Structure 1
Amino acid sequence: MHHPASRRRVELPGGTFAMGSEAHYSEEAPVHRVQVNAFAIDAYEVTNARFAEFVAATGHVTVAERPLDPADFPGAPAENLVPGSMVFTPPPGPVDLRHLSQWWTWMRGASWRAPEGPGSSVEDRWEHPVVHVAYDDAAAYATWAGARLPTEAEWEFAARGGLEGAAFTWGDQPRPEGRLMANTWDGPDFPWRSTGESGFERTAPVGSFPANGFGLHDMAGNVWEWTGDWWTSRHATDGCCVPIDPREASLDPAQPQFRIPRKVIKGGSHLCADTYCLRYRPAARRAQMIDTGMSHVGFRCVWPVPAPERT
């Protein structure tokens, strides 16, 4: 059902790096120095096969598979309070890119088992990244695996692959020598028409594209990945000292405006288009409601690395 390679972890020694970007979107600023300690990280995004093992072992029912509580949705018709999730649904032609509802659909019955809703299955995509996982689902898997979700700083350090300040996980050119380096949107006609150059309409099997300098695959594109950090509208930094293993331990003051808190997701997805969402970069970050899985959001885990013995 799965290839053992998808379980591989890579141990990283940690180090100090320049986190963020001031050349793209405002939420990525300011660029600031950060230190992370040693850790190990999944070489691949968690696959459907690996997630299925977790579900079989624990009986976990994902958020997308649970009935909705009427108390959380006052006034909503009872027939709408059924399990489901958000699925990318390409429109028939060009749309106003300011309105995401034109290519996202709440679909009854959509879950990690049925990524496009009833009638779809993971039987032919065990090595694709699991999707439709809310934050609690990803965190529960990580706990079961003896791991946790990465901090945003750990994730970005890993994604950069040792390339200080580069725009992409592989360097500064979107397509070095014309080569497609990640599973992102093909062509200028997002979200209605893809050129199909990548060979994948949605997710790709993990490891389908080149690894970065640390041997990590799909740190750009394929699916967005959960981190353990709460969303902040800009990086929190005091501008003087280099934080060690920082994490946003409390809610951003801006978060009370949201009914549902947000965590940071990283890495972009197969829906990142240069003409719309240039976020398949290490510095890129988005806010994701903790109770909402989507057809382009997954995760990977990190583990502690024992500190070396002192001599």
Structure 2
Amino acid sequence: MVRHRLGHRPCTLRITSMSNCCSPSSAQWRTTTRDLSDPVNPTTPCNPEQSRDAVTLPGGAFHMGDHHGEGYPADGEGPVHEVHLAPFGINVTTVTNAEFGRFIEATGYTTTAERYGVSAVFYAAFQGQRADILRQVPGVPWWLAVKGANWQRPNGPGSTLDGLEDHPVVHVSWDDAVAYCTWAGGRLPTEAEWEYAARGGLQGARYAWGDNLALDGRWNCNIWQGGFPMENTAADGYLTTAPVKTYTPNGYGLWQMAGNVWEWCQDWFDAEYYSRASSINPRGPDTGARRVMRGGSYLCHDSYCNRYRVAARNSNTPDSTSGNTGFRCVFDSP
């Protein structure tokens, strides 16, 4: 068994916030007041060919929410409620570095992290010089604000994408994800569509594959094993991201709907939304400050962030970027 003892200790690592430990908000670590409101990216025709690795789901009714009473109250995973969805298509994996690179080449798009010049990197993955670390994220010191970290330099300016072509693209904001999906002829999934897809036809299951985290002694997702945040045994095979077609797909043929990277959804986040949500194709609140993220990431661990369950919810501001956040696209049926 490969055991990663994480010797780089920026300071005493102590969890102080459940809401921001998973993926930090840019407001916690941003050191620039650069105005990103002006459009800087060209309008380009969409490329529907990018939707080729997708499956069409039949839609219908399912019961959304936490069936096991394991959610964090502030996340608003209840009440369990019936939702009816129209058919839709969805990418079988999150968008990869290779796919995102084709989008950048075709459009000249500049990502949020590139425009800010900084993004959040997990401290044990950091590659670069100490001068590249602008600050530690307050309250969650395992996150570093790293100058020059972006989708092409996922672990900092000393890193590259060599060998990571089939890994999920990271350091993408909600805005970046929307831009890519639009170019690909799709959109981000609604939160309800994401959960329906993640369940893979299993009603009320805890995970995308059933109720047990490991099956026959095998890990089914890329999350943290060991004592977070100082030791990762890498029993699942990876310290950070894994290739997008690792482990086993769910019942709908979708890969890694749990762990690996957080996935942006279309909806604004509201912890009280389920109590008033429409039962037919819900689209989330009309306004908000944070967008929904689903699925968990390679940093999730049941001791502090048990959010790799199918019903688990998280959120972040639309301009936030980090080394454990990505996305996949959905496509409206004709």
Q: 1:248 aligns with which of 280, 284, 309?
A: 284
The residue aligned with 1:136 is 175
Letter in 2 for 1:245: N
Superposed CA deviations along residues 118-141 of structure 1, whole A, max 9, x for unmatched, are: 110112200000000001100000
How many residue pairs match? The answer is 270
* Secondary structure of 1:156 counterpart: helix
Superposed CA deviations along residues 183-233 of structure 1, whole A, max 9, x for unmatched, are: 11112x011110121221100010111100100001000000000000111
Residues 1:24 and 2:76 are matched in the alignment:
no
The residue aligned with 1:110 is 149
- Provide the C-alpha distance between the structure 1 equivalents of 2:100 and 2:124, rounded to a whole number of angstroms: 27
- Provide the C-alpha distance between the structure 2 equivalents of 1:5 and 1:205, rounded to a whole number of angstroms: 18
The residue aligned with 2:234 is 196
The residue aligned with 1:65 is 114
Q: 1:274 aligns with which of 302, 306, 319?
A: 302
Superposed CA deviations along residues 77-125 of structure 1, whole A, max 9, x for unmatched, are: xxxxxx110111149xxxxxxx742210100000000001111011220
Report percent identity of matched pairs. 49
Q: CA deviation at 1:238?
A: 3.6
RMSD (Å), alpha carbons? 1.9
* Secondary structure of 1:46 counterpart: coil
Label 1:139 to 1:5 Cα distance change in 2 as closer, same or farther (>3 A).
Answer: closer
TM-score normalised to structure 2 length: 0.78
Residues 1:55 and 2:97 are matched in the alignment:
no
TM-score normalised to structure 1 length: 0.83
Contact 1:28 1:235 in 2 (8 A): no
Contact 1:110 1:117 in 2 (8 A): yes
* Secondary structure of 2:273 counterpart: coil
Contact 2:77 2:312 in 1 (8 A): yes
Matching of residues 139-218 of structure 1 within 5 Å: 139-187=178-226, 189-218=227-256
Contact 1:109 1:118 in 2 (8 A): yes
Residues 1:10 and 2:80 are matched in the alignment:
no
Contact 2:53 2:92 in 1 (8 A): yes
- Structure 1: runs of 5 or more not aligned: 68-82, 92-98, 253-260, 307-311
Residues 1:43 and 2:92 are matched in the alignment:
yes
Would you identify which runs of 4 or more consecutive aligned residues in structure 1 move more than 6 Å? none
- Structure 2: runs of 5 or more not aligned: 1-48, 126-137
Superposed CA deviations along residues 272-300 of structure 1, whole A, max 9, x for unmatched, are: 11212111111111011110111000000
Residues 1:88 and 2:133 are matched in the alignment:
no
